[in-house]
Amino acid sequence: MGAPITIFRLFRLRPCGRELLVRVERPAASNADQGALDGADRFADAAAERLRERWERHLKPVCAHPHTSSVVAEMQEDPVGDDLFGPGRRTLAVWVAQTEYGAPWTVLGTAATEAEFWQRVRLDDALVGLGALAPAEPHVVHFLTDTDTDTDLPAG
């Protein structure tokens, strides 16, 4: 069996530019079984979509216009910093760096400064392997995870 994979996916809403970062688990699947791999992908995609739809519903009182969304960043390795391993339902400042593999592949995470972000990226072989490209851009995102409950979701 291939191990489960933690996926971070950043959505941007138009026209307002609000951003939602979701963390979902792609279940373990046999690397020898393409059907199982596709099923695991669909499971993770559906979980991410549920979180996006839930967030858009909760945004209605503060941002009533219709939204369209697109995926602007994705990462399937452990990010920089501890914040993104914790609970969601909060607003976070994250650094997002493009990679040599092109959109939407990015290296992202939390750090007090961009210099600290790069310092931590360079100490992590898995992150170095993603080919991150400077500069990292600061984003303020709403963060939700597939382990958050549906109650009291802030609409920020």
Count of residues touching Zn ion (by CB under 5 A): 2
Least distance to Zn ion, CB of residue 61, Å: 11
User: Residue 93, Cβ neighbours under 10 Å: how many?
Assistant: 12
Name the residue nearer to Zn ion (CB basis): 37 or 63: 63
Q: Choose between 35 and 61: whose C-beta lies nearer to Zn ion.
A: 61
Residue 16 tokens read as: 């307002």
Is 63 a binding residue for Zn ion by CB under 5 A? The answer is yes
Select 57 or 122, whichever has its Cβ closest to Zn ion: 57
The stretch among 40-48, 60-68, 93-101, 134-142 that binds Zn ion (CB under 5 A) is: 60-68
Rounded Cα distance between 142 and 90, Å, is 6
Q: Min. distance of Cβ 65 from Zn ion in angstroms?
A: 6
**Residue in 1, 3, 16, 62 binding Zn ion, rule: CB under 5 A:** 16
Q: Give the shortest CB-114-to-Zn ion separation in angstroms.
A: 27
- Least Å distance, CB 142 to Zn ion, is 12
Smallest distance, Zn ion to C-beta of residue 17, A: 8
Q: How many CB atoms lie within 10 A of CB 125?
A: 7
Which residue ranges make up the site for Zn ion (CB under 5 A)?
Answer: 16, 63
